[in-house]
Amino acid sequence: MSGGAPVLRASGVDFRFGGDLALAGVDLEIGAGERLAILGPNGGGKTTLVRLMLGLLAPSRGEIRWTAARRPRLGYVPQFPAFDRAFPLRVAEMVGLGLLRAAGRDRRAERARVDAMLERLDLAALRGAYLSELSGGETKRALIARALVGDPGFLVLDEPAASLDEVSRRSLWALVGALPAETVVLLVTHDLAPGTFAATRAVLVDGRLEALPVEGLHQHPILCGHGHG
């Protein structure tokens, strides 16, 4: 582990899809403020690993547990939308789902937070649009806005730059770079160009987990698309 005090620990984790062993013997500890790059081939288990950490899947063996005194607020940008695009939900409503809902909440302040995040991701003109009207890149930006609007303490980004144009990519990395130092950020990617994500640690996931050196990480053979920022 690198970073601050331990936040999450995976111990001896296996995961099976039916009879197939997708992940085996994963031991991983994540500390406060980590910026962890998760690399690996298609089908190697990267997305499975982050879904296990988020509690969306349960290990077939081993344990994943939060070790922080207080479980951090989660933010998640999935690689592919996991909702029905035909559902009559507007962009601002979907982004607002990323806010903590509580009795007596300040709706005006919530709306202001949503509006500010829509502006940051160039979605203000689409706040009233239905999800079914969005392009792939617009949908990805809306998912990023939903994940960030609630100030998460533990943020998982699964191929977040996919479908984004150059301007949107730069906005994304600026937002990630401006997150508080104690925020944990896990990035699953095949595209780690210089000047984008400042990883403090990296791992290769291909059925098992292997540590990678951070120095020169963007030149790793598994990565591609080095032309973007």
- Please say whether the beta carbons of 178 and 213 come within 8 A: no
What average pLDDT does this structure show over 122-150?
93
Which pLDDT band holds residue 222 (cuts at 50, 70, 90)?
low
User: 136-148 and 166-177 are packed helices; what angle lies between their axes, rounded to 10 degrees?
Assistant: 10
Helix (DSSP H) and strand (DSSP E) numbers for the chain: 5, 9
- Asked if residue 229 has pLDDT above 60, the reply is no
Which pLDDT value is given to residue 115? 94
pLDDT higher than threshold 60 for residue 1: no
The mean pLDDT value of the chain amounts to: 87
- In the chain, which ranges are continuous DSSP H helix? 46-53, 91-96, 107-120, 136-148, 166-177
State residue 108 phi and psi, 5-degree precision: -65, -45
Closest alpha carbon to 207 in 45, 29, 27: 45
What is the phi/psi pair of residue 14, to 5°? -115, 155
What's the pTM value of the predicted model, to 2 decimals?
0.87
212 - beta bridge partners? 202
Round to whole Å and give the CA distance between 33 and 182: 4
Please state the φ and ψ torsions of residue 190, each to the nearest 5 degrees.
-110, 5
Please give the single-letter amino acid code of residue 206.
D
In this structure, what DSSP letter does residue 105 have? -
181 and 35 in contact (C-beta within 8 Å)?
Answer: no
Give the bridge partners for 20, in sequence order. Answer: 17
Average pLDDT estimate for 117-125: 94
Residue 106 neighbours by CB distance under 10 Å:
10
DSSP state of 90: B
Q: What average pLDDT score do residues 170-185 get?
A: 92
CB 46 within 8 A of CB 38: yes
